[in-house]
Chains A and B, each alone.
Chain A
Amino acid sequence: MLTVKAYAVVASLLFGLGVYGALARRHAIAVLISVELMLNAAALNFVSFSRLQGNPQAASGQVFAIFIIAVAAAEAIVGLAIILALFRAVKSAALDRFTLLKW
Chain B
Amino acid sequence: MPPEVAFVALALTALAGGVVAVVARNVFRAALGLMLSLFGVAGLFLLQRAEFLAVVQVLVYVGGVCVLIIFAVMLTEREGATMQVTVNRDLVLPGILLGASLALGTAVAVIRAPFVGSPPSAVSARELGASLLGRYLVPFEAVSLLLLVAAIGALMIAREDRREDRREDRREDAREARREAGGRAGE
Does more than half of chain A's interface fall in helix, strand or loop, or is it mixed?
helix
Considering only CB atoms and an 8 Å cut-off, how many residues of chain B contact the other chain? 86
Which residues on the B side are within 8 Å of A10 (C-beta)?
Answer: 11, 14-15, 44
Option from A1, A9, A43, A63 in Cβ contact (under 8 Å) with B136 = A63
Q: Closest chain B residue to A72 by CB distance?
A: B65
In contact, A26 and B88 (Cβ under 8 angstroms): yes
In contact, A15 and B48 (Cβ under 8 angstroms): no
Q: B88 CB to closest chain A CB, in angstroms?
A: 5
Interface residues of B in 123-140 (CB under 8 A from A): 123, 127-128, 130-132, 135-136, 139
Option from B15, B38, B117, B158 in Cβ contact (under 8 Å) with A85 = B158
Bound-state Cα–Cα, A101 to B19, Å: 33
* CB within 8 Å for A80 and B131 given contacts A12-B102, A54-B118: no
Q: Closest chain A residue to B33 by CB distance?
A: A33
Interface residues of B in 73-88 (CB under 8 A from A): 73, 75-76, 78, 82, 84-88
Q: A45 CB to closest chain B CB, in angstroms?
A: 9
Can you give 8 A-B contacts (C-beta < 8 A)?
A3-B117, A8-B107, A16-B100, A36-B69, A53-B118, A71-B146, A74-B151, A80-B154
